[in-house]
Structure formats: C-alpha cells, structure tokens
Amino acid sequence: MEQLLSCQNLTKRYGYKTALDSINLTIERGRIIGLLGPNGSGKTTLIKLINGLLAPTEGLLLINGAVPGPETKKVVSYLPERTYFNSWMKVTDILNFFCDFYSDFDRNRAMEMLHRLNIDEKDRLSSMSKGTKEKVQLIMVMSRDADLYCLDEPIGGVDPAARDYILQTIITNYNERASVLISTHLISDIENVLDDVIFIQNGHIRLTTSVDEIREQEGKSVDALFREVFRC
Amino acid sequence: MAWILDDSRPIYLQIVDVIKTNIIAGAYQPGDKLPSVRDLAMEASVNPNTMQKALTELERSGLVYTQRTSGRFITEDTAKMTEIKEQLAKEQIQLFLKNMEQLGFKKEDIKRLLDQELKGGK
Amino acid sequence: MLGKLIKHEFRAVNRLMLPLHLGLIVITIIGRFYVQFVMNREHVNYSSYSLRMWEGIVDVMLVSAYVIALIAIFIITWLYLDILRFRKNLFTDEGYLMHTLPASAAQHIFTKLAVSAVWQIADGILIGLSVFAMVLNKSIIEDFGYFWNELWTSFPQIFGVPAGIGIPVFLLSALVNTIAGTLIIYMCIAIGHSFNDHKVLASIGIYMGYKFVSNLISSIVVALSGINSFGTRNVNSIFFGVGVYNSGLNETAYFWLNTGFSLVFSLVLGVGAFVLTNHFMTKRLNLE
C-alpha cells in the first residue's frame, strides 16, 4: 500500500510569518500519533493543510499519493478545535448529513456510541452543553471508516471523565489500516495511547520517534522529554 | 479502569509485568482464554499496538500461547509457571538485598533480621 | 455530490425562506380582503367627516406597512442568500465542516448560486403576484385585452423587435445580470475572507472598490458608444451623435447591439467572478 501521508519540503507562510518551514514527514498506517508542540508551533497549520483548508506555499503534501482535494477528503476524518454544526440541527439531522456526504460513515456505530452517552437522536444541539456538543462531533468523526483521523486538540478544556471517554473512543475504533493524528499540548493525558510522537516547534519538526524508544533510550516519559526539549 | 503505569519504562514492558503478576497470583487460571487485544487495550487504556507488543512478549516467555483460530490462552505448563514465579521471586529478593546493602547491612545481619521478622509475623 | 449539496442547502435555507414567503402570502390575502372591504366601504354614505379622515389615515398606514413589508422581504431574501448564508456557511466555523466534505469549491459555489437564484426568482415572482393581487379589480380585467394589444403594438415601435422576442431577452438578461451580481458578491466575500483580520470590512471594501471601477468603466462605455442595457438609443450620452447613435442603425440593430453587449458584459463578469471565487476558496482559504 502507498504511504498514508507524506510531506516533502512542506512550507506555509502567512504574509511574512512562516508557520511551517520546509518540513518532511511520513505517516504509516495503523499508528496512533501525537502531534505535540507548544501553542503557535504549527500543529493546527499542518492539520489544516492535510484537510485542504489551507494550500501550501511551497512543497508537497500527499495523502494516499494525492494532493488534498475532494478525493482525499473522502478518506480523512477531521475534528477541528471548534464546533461546526448549526445549533438548530437535531442529532438525526447531523446523522443524515454525514450519511449523505461520507460513504464510509457507519450510522449504527454512531448510534451505539450516542446511546451509550444517553444522547437522544431527537435532541437539538442548542439544548446541549458545550461538552456534549463536542462529544457528538467526536462520535461523528470517529464513526467514519477513514484512513486518517485528524483530531485537533480533542482533549483541550474537557473534564477528566470526558477525556477518558475520548481516549476510549479512539482505542475502540482503532484499526490497522488507519492512523490517528492527535494534536495536543497536554501530553501526559494521552501518552499511554500513542505509538509515535512528532515534536513540532516554530514550524520545524524537532523529533519523530516512538514512545517506546523515548522510554527505552531516555528512561523518561514523553511528557518529561517534551518539557526538557521545549524548556522556556 | 486504566492500569496504573509509571513513566520511566516502556509501556509494553509494564503491561507484560502486570499480566505476568496476574497469572502468577491466580487472577488468570492455567488454560484460561485471554480477552482480545482490543478489549485488553480498552481495559488498560493503552494503544492496541502496545498491547499486541506486550502479548507477543508474553508469548515469547512461554506464559501465553496462541491457538490460531480461537485466540490466546494462559499456559497449562505448570513447570513453566513455577519457573517464572521463582524467577520473579528471585528478582524481588535481589532487589531487596541490594537495598539492604545500600543501608549498610551485612549478609548475616540481613539473615538475622529476616528470621526475626518471619517468626514475629507468625 | 452536487445533488446532495443542493438538497442540504435547500433544507437549511428553507428554514428562513419558507416562513418568510408564507408570511408574504398571508399578508397578501389579508391585504386583498382589506382592499375588498375598502372598495365596498366607498358606497356607504358618511355622516361624519372625521370618521372618513381617520379611515383615510388608517388606509395610508396600512398601504405603507404593506409596501415596507414587501421591501423588507425582498431585502432579507437578497441579503440572506447572497451574503449572510454564503459567508456563514463557508467562511465561519461551519466552513470547517463544509470545506472538508468530499466536494470541490466549484460545487459549493454552484450550490449556493443555484439555490440563491431559485429563491430570488421565486421571491420576485411572489412579490409581483402579491402586488398584482392587490390592485386587481374588475376594470383591470376588462382593460387587460387593451393593455395586451398595446404592449404588442408599441413594443416593436420602441425596441425594434416583437414583444415575444424582446421580453424573453430582457428576462434572460435580467437573470444573467442577477446571477453575475450574486457571483460578484461571492467573489468579494471570498477575497475579503482571505485576509487575516477585518475580513468583513475587507469584503465590503473590495465590493466598493469593484463598484467604483465598474461604474467608471460602464460610464465610459456608455458615454463613448451610446450603448446601454435598456436596448434603446441613449440620448444622454455626452458624445451624443458621435457614437453609434448616428451610425444609421435602425431600432432592431440597436436592440441587439445593446442587449447583446449587456449580456456579454454580465457573462464575462460572472465567469470572472466565479473563477476568482474558486481560486480564493481553494488556494487562499483562510478560516479563522
């Protein structure tokens, strides 16, 4: 199979500001990868580029060998850091929407997860708390049989119970054809779930390695190493 | 419930230890079927790849064997169990001795204190 | 994909458009009953002058309210379809969902355009019918035949072509013009939202800049050539007598020259705006 994702000299500039500076990166299938870096390091820019929400200034980004476009959007499932549904929508409306647009959407899987959280299909988003809305969105994103899941700060600002739920969801839906890319700056929370980590800083990739390697070679957790690498 | 894992060692090695301890302590009986990788991963709140790696490690040690169609089982080879049990005990004792040495105790003192403790415990 | 996009777009837009136009129909029905009531009232002998005066004031107020309601419905429809919906759905948080659907930017633009055009046409027809229903009375029906004949005889005299050709050409021209207008607004929103901040202000600025330039160009064109979009000779041209006016063309040639020019102009604008919108939505997308 082709490489799931590869970046070649990928650069993104906003005006004079360089958000990503000529990065090279590949992502294999069947991995859960942490995209780790301080705020403003380029995490969101990279994820937006993968999802075609930004166009590269220079360089190349390929998903299954193709540049981002309608074809790659069929196989990439994206959880942005904001809620993007209309508040008038009911859960059924959202289910219908995803069913219509994503051929890989598994309605039954979504319904199962919703029921486990006691979310009724007839509930309107406007009647839900922010946390519940975020969970609905995560359920929709994880109910697709995508090749690549991009989760941008999925655990930022949620309570520990919700965080555990999110991690459980990621583990449950794991499959060996697909990879999950999770961007966060809260490392210790997700460390046990990760295979690999990418450290990113000021638009440069500082380190790509596996969690086991860090622990074997450095004798410390990813979180501790992160604090060391990015010490202010 | 997530298994409590520490920070310094690779996660899969810690999982190997947890499962080993469970087997020796009798939480899993010889011949028992282990839960699937996915379920174990869920239980431990770790990545399925990591769990897979841990189980492969356990298979190599001989505590767990795979039946191609029906899954993973705890070994029924009691000799093997005893061997591993004693191996673990040995590790603990070595650790204990090392700590005592650091405290400045000689072998005779350790023996005396240990005997005293064992009698007192009864 | 396009079909699904259009289906969901209608579903979202209808939430406002249906009640709005249902409201229009209700206003029309109530208004019509009121008109009927007023026409019957004239036959009553009034004893009190002041009563008559108050009735007059109420009538004027109600007519004003009706006219304001029509204008409001027209403006809300236009504002919502051409500006608010396009911006909110594609350039705010909702854009994160829309732009990650397996659809191209061109499909998104076309979807918005088609739904906007359908509702704006429906809006125009319904407003027209409402006014017609309001003023309709026996004498209009009786005189209708006369008006119709008048239209068919005087139209060729003014425009140089039969009404059967001229009116459809005008309607086509109006449609293309509306679509081009919508696309130009989309273009301004798409360009404005590629800015890092002050996206709305930038969009408005770009629209004003565009308006200024396009007015300048069209004034020059009209002034130099005498061509205008009404299909008649432009007597206001500053080069009156220099341009095509004196070229000895007859009314028919004029009509085709002018409407043809206007049509081509709108088409060029529309296509240009579409291409630019598409470019800015794919290469320069910059969601907050």
Note the ipTM here. 0.93
Q: Are residues A89 and A175 in the same domain?
A: no
**Residue B5, in any domain of the structure:** no
Q: Which domain holds residue B95?
A: 79-121
Q: Which of A118, A145, A172 is the last residue of a domain?
A: A145
Q: Are residues B72 and B15 in the same domain?
A: yes
Domain count, chain B: 2
Domain count, chain A: 2
Which tens digit of pLDDT belongs to each residue from C163-201? 888 889 989 988 999 999 999 999 999 999 999 889 999
Query: Residue C237: its pLDDT value, please?
Result: 46
Which tens digit of pLDDT belongs to each residue from C115-129? 999 999 999 999 999
User: A154: closest CA among A145, A167, A168, A143?
Assistant: A167
Asked whether C and B share 3 or more beta-carbon pairs under 8 angstroms, the answer is no
Q: B86: pLDDT confidence band, cut at 50, 70 and 90?
A: confident
**Residue B17, in any domain of the structure:** yes
Q: What is the CATH number of the domain that holds A3?
A: 3.40.50.300
Q: Which domain holds residue A38?
A: 1-75+146-232
Q: Which residue of A has its CA nearest to C2?
A: A101
Q: Which of A99, A126, A145 is the last residue of a domain?
A: A145
Mean pLDDT across chain C, nearest whole number?
87
Mark the ranges of chain A whose per-residue pLDDT is less than 70: 1-2, 157, 232
Query: Residue A218: its pLDDT value, please?
Result: 84
**Residue B2, in any domain of the structure:** no
Q: Which of A145, A171, A190 is the last residue of a domain?
A: A145
User: C105: closest CA among C248, C285, C288?
Assistant: C285
Q: Are residues B15 and B63 in the same domain?
A: yes
Query: Residue A103: its pLDDT value, please?
Result: 95
In chain C, where the domains are located? 9-136, 161-288
Handedness of CA C4, C6, C9, C10 (dihedral sign): negative
Q: Are residues B98 and B116 in the same domain?
A: yes
Residue A16 forms contact with C (CB below 8 Å): no
Q: What is the pTM of this model?
A: 0.87
Mean pLDDT across chain A, nearest whole number?
90
Q: Are residues A161 and A106 in the same domain?
A: no
CB contact under 8 A, C8 and A97: yes
Q: Are residues B23 and B72 in the same domain?
A: yes
Which tens digit of pLDDT belongs to each residue from C81-115? 999 999 999 999 999 999 999 999 999 999 999 99
Which tens digit of pLDDT belongs to each residue from A58-70? 999 999 999 999 9
Q: Are residues A155 and A222 in the same domain?
A: yes
Measured between alpha carbons, how far is residue A1 from residues A5, A63, A70, A227 in Å? Answer: 12, 12, 20, 36
Q: C36: pLDDT confidence band, cut at 50, 70 and 90?
A: confident
CB contact under 8 A, A219 and B8: yes
User: B53: closest CA among A210, A189, A224, A184?
Assistant: A210
CA C212 to chain centre: 20
CA atoms within 13 A on the CB side of B75: 21
Q: Are residues A165 and A221 in the same domain?
A: yes
Q: What is the mean pLDDT of residues C57-62?
A: 90
Angle between helices C2-41 and C49-78 (to 10 degrees): 170
Q: Are residues B67 and B87 in the same domain?
A: no
CB contact under 8 A, C102 and A101: yes
Q: Are residues A90 and A134 in the same domain?
A: yes
CB contact under 8 A, B45 and A216: no
Query: Residue C19: its pLDDT value, please?
Result: 97
Query: Residue B72: its pLDDT value, please?
Result: 87
**Residue B3, in any domain of the structure:** no
Q: What is the CATH number of the domain that holds B66?
A: 1.10.10.10
Q: Are residues A191 and A204 in the same domain?
A: yes
Find out whether A190 and A27 touch, Cβ atoms under 8 Å.
no
Q: Are residues B38 and B87 in the same domain?
A: no
Q: Are residues A71 and A86 in the same domain?
A: no
Q: Are residues B21 and B72 in the same domain?
A: yes
Which of A61, A74, A81, A84 to substitute to test the interface with C, most C CBs within 10 Å? Answer: A84
